[in-house]
Structure 1
Amino acid sequence: MHSHHSHSGDYCAHGVDPLNSMIDRVINLNFQTYCLTEHIPRVESKFIYPEELALGKTSDDIITSLETSFKNFMSHAQKIKARYAGKPDVRTKFIIGTEIESCDMVHIEYAKRVMRENSDILKFCVGSVHHVNGIPIDFDQEQWYNSLHSFNDNLKDFLLSYFQSQYEMLTNIEPLVVGHFDLFKLFLPNDMLVNQKSGQCNEETGVPVASLDVINEWPEVYHSVVRNLQFIDSYGGAIEINTSALRKGLKEPYPSKTLCDLVKKHCGSRFVLSDDAHGVAQVGVCYDKVKKYIVDVLQLEHICYLEECQPPQNGISLKKLPITRFVNDPFWTNI
């Protein structure tokens, strides 16, 4: 079993447990592959989260603290990887990567430099979008609304901007794993009224957003998604099925079935699995539910996972695991 995306309380302000405690849980669950992917630091003061204000007296202090924390993560992750590499009784292979911050082009260029300068440690990245129009969309409901307000409360324009930001990240980084593809849905209010033609919200002519398939509702949005998936396909990237949406109360993981069907059509049906854990209790979270989603809803023939090349080769490859082996993995007896 695999997870390609994780965080910890040691190196993430909204993480809740030490990394070593999470690793103990990973090994006890008998994961085959577990990827360590703390966030690359944000390097501009306007992108500092409220939860990070305690990290320093000034913005510069906070940014320095984030950069130091990331260096400490890389060192810690290497020790974990080395500690378990030679233990025959531990099945888990650890791969070190990072989740990039694609707030803007400054951060995209910074991520490229960090990846390049630490290529001996960071073997891949999870490419994600957490901001739309410079405003975080997964921090809380208020910030999500602030982002929507910046588009004059037009959901179609909001989505187009989200997928355009994703495209800029994709074309500049070419991340091997694309994280929580439809993160925008986390705080999307089901009862918000949306005009089906214009995308304008809270109009009397609107219908509840829960009754819409927002990807297929507007051709411009649909074509943006297909464009992004076709580009991911062009360089061999994979789409993450992320179970954190389920633990946060959504009905589907990231991405939705609508988007997964498009991945099957336009991106070679290349999916990897992630728990996006931020603490011990979230390791392998909702994997029992996502197994049913993968097998019964999506009816996938295989799931992909990352494997690090053995010396003297230096790199990483995307492998396919047949669903018959996936459902019979010894991991499931521990979950």
Structure 2
Amino acid sequence: MPYSFHSHSGQFCKHGHGLLEDVVKEAIRKGFHVYGLSEHMPRYADSELYPEEIEAECTPTTLTETFRDFRLEAERLKEAYKGSISLLIGTEIEFINQDYANHIQQLRSESDYVVGSLHHVNSVPIDFSPELYQTALAGAKNSLQTLFVQYFDEQWEMLQAIQPEVVGHFDLIRIFADQSVADQILLEPQVWQRIVRNVDYIIGYGGLFEINSRSWKKGLKDAYPQRNIIQIIKEKGGKFTLSDDCHGPNDVGLFYEKLPNYLLETGIDTIHYLTRQEGKVIVKEHKDILKDEFWTKIQNW
């Protein structure tokens, strides 16, 4: 009965595909027990629009309207399919600058949870394209270590301001870096101490670390987070959840067939998940996750 708490659709995200309802139908077909709908929150300045949004003549106003439409459709789907799946309605946040803290608090009152992600360093998108990643790297004086330090410092600011229930792709900064170099830089003292600081903080307030399988679509060796980070989270008693970071119906359960081996290799046998109980969203524990019959059904997807 595994879970995902990080998803998108082409209906409400320009780099996604397909309808949100088809995402839900696919999650039901594939046997998900709880599935989180977490379209991106709006961005509020013209300078923060992605190239695809500029091409589609989006504006901050239209992004806000699109997000409102998402909320309405998600509520409809939650009711329509309540007999088949438990849907939680969240949002994947942005934290381009400190002004976003106020925007997020307003959105949070209407959300079951938020996915706390960092997609920008020094206001430059890091996961949109290799070219923009290089722009962010240039802003860090072409030092990958400096870029990693900046990323985890900005993540630290986001964590303190928001305390998200789910922390999205903790080490997304690896996405377009040479992986052998990135793995070494993560362990450099200046970077590693920031990772440990952020991990300690998340554990302290009770956040969940998502194991995000979308990294494999990008050709990375490990899921997010990579295994060195997973080990320190485990040692400190952190809690893991699962996310496919789907961007449309075809992505539901994306690379979940690789998760059993990854969980086995990293020694994870307990997953935590969000669920609604007595009108509130709470965290529950799923022990012996690899014994769940969900995994045996993947071969028939």
Structure 1-normalised TM-score?
0.86
Q: In the aligned structure 1, how far is the partner of 2:277 from the partner of 2:290?
A: 21
- How many Å separate the matches in 2 of 1:174 and 1:306? 15
State the partner residue of 1:3.
4
Pick one of 194, 201, 210 that aligns with 1:224.
Answer: 194
- Between the aligned partners of 1:54 and 1:309, the Cα distance in structure 2 is 43
| Separation in structure 1 between the aligned mates of residue 295 and residue 269 of structure 2, nearest angstrom | 19
Structure 1 stretches of 4+ with a deviation exceeding 2 A read 325-332
Q: Which has the larger radius of gyration?
A: 1
Q: How much is the aligned-residue C-alpha RMSD, in angstroms?
A: 1.4
CA-to-aligned-CA distance 1:57-105 (integer Å, 9 cap, x gap): xxxx6111100000000000000101122x2xx2x21110000011111
Out of 86, 101, 106, the residue aligned to residue 93 of structure 1 is: 86
> Match for residue 202 of structure 1?
none
Match in the other structure for 1:34: 35
In 1, Cα distance between the equivalents of 2:107 and 2:88? Answer: 17
* Number of the residue aligned with 2:72: 75
- The 5-angstrom pairing of residues 28-67 of structure 1 reads 28-56=29-57, 62-67=59-64
Q: Normalised by the size of structure 2, how large is the TM-score? A: 0.95
Q: 1:259 to 1:79 in 2, by over 3 A?
A: same
- Supply the distance in 2 between the matched residues of 1:260 and 1:282 (Cα, whole angstroms): 24
The corresponding residue for 2:292 is 328
1:5-56 per-position Cα deviation (integer Å, ceiling 9, x unaligned): 0000000000011111111111111100100000110101111000001443
Q: How does 1:228-307 map to 2 (within 5 A)?
A: 228-266=198-236, 268-295=237-264, 297-307=265-275
Are the equivalent residues in 2 in contact too, given 1:160–1:221 (CA < 8 A)?
A: yes
Conserved in 2, the CA contact under 8 Å of 1:137 and 1:143?
Answer: yes
Equivalent pair of 1:291/1:327 in contact (CA under 8 Å): no
Contact 2:231–2:266, Cα closer than 8 Å, also in 1? yes
Contact 1:177-1:240 at 8 Å conserved across structures: yes
Partners of 1:290 and 1:231 lie apart in 2 by 26
String of CA shifts for 1:235-282, please: whole Å, max 9, x gaps: 10010100000122111111100110111123x230000000001111
Q: State how far apart, in whole Å, the 1-side matches of 2:295 and 2:276 are.
A: 20
Identity %: 35
The answer to whether the aligner puts 1:110 opposite 2:103 as a matched pair is yes
Q: How far did residue 332 of structure 1 move?
A: 3.4
3-state DSSP class of the match of 2:283? strand
Provide the rounded CA distance (Å) in 1 between the counterparts of 2:18 and 2:269. Answer: 35
Contact 1:55 1:65 in 2 (8 A): no
Cα pair 1:55 1:62 within 8 Å, conserved: no
Distance change (3 Å), C-alpha of 1:188 and 1:20: same
Tell me the number of residue pairs that the alignment of Structure 1 and Structure 2 aligns. 298
Partner of 2:185: 214
Amino acid at match of 2:280: G
Q: Secondary structure at the match of 1:213?
A: helix
Aligned residues of 1:164 and 1:224 also touching (Cα < 8 A): yes
Structure 1 unaligned blocks of 5 or more: 191-207
1:134-189 deviations in Å (ceiling 9; x for gaps): 10000111100110110111122111110011001000000010000010111003
